A and B are shown apart, each in its own frame.
Chain A
């Protein structure tokens, strides 16, 4: 069923979108939230279990201290109020992937209260996303529906449950309604999600790989005619697990809801899902007042007490946050906004920082990682860090250039051979006998020969037209098998002309 959609530009002119994001971040603790079962990706189904993971009668939860510290770190990064007292509550509902038939979550007393995150958009604008809370909870198991056409429960003939994921610690970051985003709502959501990913990676609290489900978001969208109107009815698109998916979900929901409202229709309060292949959201379960999770404090767990001293200790260990780090490096490296954005988009920040630390100039390091090496990575379809060249090797090549031992051309050849696995730059240079001819005598002869061979060029140079200089350099390069230093050649030519 094709749904009516309004043109996006028209929809955002007619309506004011309000969005809200509930982001689940799976923590990379060694063990689960309430038991010592190990956590690893891709383990055999139902092998990473304890009686607690399976909700066996008599099993009791014991809180994982590391998970709490991870949550505090994230809370601090999101400028949240870290509550001295927080509480775990039971969210009761029956579902086969939920071993106890209740989830242990936080309800009215979350560990992290209100906060905010400033996110940077493509054009450098900073947008402040208000955070409502970031609470700790445990994950459910994973259902696999077998026999249906698309892996969904509809049409399946049986389902399998893997409880390995049951009990894995999650933090759910809930934004307040994000107002004032206008037509940039999808972009803001995408930038926010990427910022969260960068933060949890910088904090080293989650692998934050969306494709593995380490991070997923429920996307709420509602429209209203004007920012002064009350919020409209929202749709909630569950478990969107890619940045693009989140952006497109919002775009799609704005267009879909606008078309309905424009005709005087009403938005159904429902949960939807993002269909990647159809590039559309599809209706799911209608939310009603019948959804009652009967939250109450988990009587198996005492209240969680986090002292201000403990928060201070964690604060002292906090690494620099990604945005602050980017800004600092941008200043240190004297890169423009555009240059810095290119670096970030190429995922080269860490590599360049490391290369600079090892002695290369920022411009030199950027030239390699965003030039030759990015091309090589793209051609191979791999990430930069997967290339067989290290920041140390890039810094070494830059050092060889700075020392005048390699020119640009030889440096590129050297790098190509390093990439092919021939060894370190020093080994490659030694093996192939690469050297810049800076021996003045030999170079003087080669330059003189080139000038003698091209009198017309020399005439132009003497007349003050420097354009044909390249022809002489080229000739010298050929004569020296590329080992000449272009700067040195130019210098000798100029001396000879003036002389």
Chain B
């Protein structure tokens, strides 16, 4: 991997086929994000890469599938935080039976935050008898389709690219009441996670709002080195254009004093 990255520093990408994922752009993507992304793609081309467009038709179902599978696993993975063996333990008030089951309830009520509870409830529901096939089972089928989309795409390109996220960062807590909008921000990164393929994100400059934009590379399963070369090449080219790492250009008073 280190060797692949060092190779990238030479900024010679001749022979590399870069696939632009059609479904990860356009509507719903911030203009500033799209602009930085396409500039970066042009930089890849100028270093000799051949750019092709690939289609992953099932990516539109990825977010839905992910937000079934992930909460389902979360509901089970977090079950162990029950106050029995480690961590927080909250005993029930005196007028409530002092049983293990009640202790677990009070502990979990006190220890988990709202978003975690939301996911546990969602996952518990999705795994319930009678709902499993409709929710978890269907989501796993979508996962298989997404894996197949990747296989198809990697038949046409060595490495896939997209913006890392459709918009720049939103304010802390801003979308708590609109979880769907919040979850939408994961749209570009979720397919790789569902399929189990490696992906990485590097800075692609600042959007119109002054916040950083990410540029994502995706490689075939267990072929991480394939993306290290173009990513290192792009990082080197962009940093040269910026005159240094992008965080130096951030207008962020809160970063002052953080060893800027």
Contact = CB atoms under 8 A, between A and B. Distances in A.
B84 A296 contact: no
Contacts of A433: none
Given A56-B86, A94-B104, A294 B80 contact: no
B144 interface: no
A161 B129 CA distance: 30
Contacts of A299: 73
Given A55-B85, A159-B100, A296 B72 contact: yes
A127 interface: no
A300 to B, nearest CB: 9
A86 to B, nearest CB: 17
A102 B101 CA distance: 15
Contacts of B104: 94
Contact of B136 (A92, A289, A296): A296
A90 interface: yes
B85 A294 contact: no
A142 to B, nearest CB: 14
Interface residues of B, number: 19
Contacts of B72: 296
Contacts of A96: 84, 100
Interface in B118-164: 124, 127-129, 132, 136
Q: How large is the interface on A (under 10, 10 to 19, 20 to 34, 35 or more residues)?
A: 20 to 34
Contacts of A292: 128-129
A101 interface: yes
B85 A54 contact: yes
Nearest to A97: B84
Contacts of A161: 84
A100 B136 contact: no
A165 to B, nearest CB: 15
Contacts of B79: 92, 94, 100-102
Contacts of A92: 75-76, 79, 127
B259 to A, nearest CB: 30
A423 interface: no
Interface in B68-86: 72-73, 75-76, 79-80, 82, 84-86
Nearest to A293: B129
Contacts of B76: 90, 92, 102, 294, 296
A96 to B, nearest CB: 5
Contacts of A289: 129
Contacts of A38: none
Interface string A53-75: 01111000000000000000000
A101 B82 contact: yes
Contacts of B127: 92, 294-296
Contacts of A57: 80
A213 interface: no
Q: Is the interface of B mostly helix, strand, loop or mixed?
A: helix
A161 B124 CA distance: 27
Nearest to A57: B80
A232 interface: no
A364 interface: no
A177 interface: no
Interface string A262-298: 0000000000000000000000000001001011100
A36 interface: no
A94 B86 contact: no
Contacts of A54: 85
Nearest to A291: B129
B84 A294 contact: no
A99 interface: yes
Contacts of A101: 79-80, 82
A94 B136 CA distance: 21
Interface in B84-121: 84-86, 100-101, 104
A296 B80 CA distance: 17
A482 B17 CA distance: 104
A117 B152 CA distance: 49
B176 to A, nearest CB: 25
B136 A99 contact: no
A294 B128 CA distance: 5
A43 B84 CA distance: 22
Given A54-B85, A101-B80, A94 B101 contact: yes
Given A159-B100, A296-B127, A55 B73 contact: no
A294 B120 CA distance: 13
Contacts of A100: 79-80
Nearest to B100: A96
A94 B104 CA distance: 9
A90 B104 CA distance: 20
B70 to A, nearest CB: 10
B205 to A, nearest CB: 36
Contacts of B129: 289, 292, 294
B210 to A, nearest CB: 37
B84 to A, nearest CB: 5
14 contacts: A90-B76, A92-B76, A92-B79, A92-B127, A94-B79, A96-B100, A100-B80, A102-B79, A289-B129, A294-B124, A294-B127, A294-B132, A295-B127, A296-B127
Interface of B: 72-73, 75-76, 79-80, 82, 84-86, 100-101, 104, 124, 127-129, 132, 136
Given A94-B82, A294-B128, 9 more contacts: A55-B80, A55-B85, A96-B100, A99-B80, A100-B79, A292-B129, A294-B129, A295-B132, A299-B73
Ranked 4 nearest A-B pairs via Cβ:
A101-B79, A294-B127, A55-B80, A292-B129
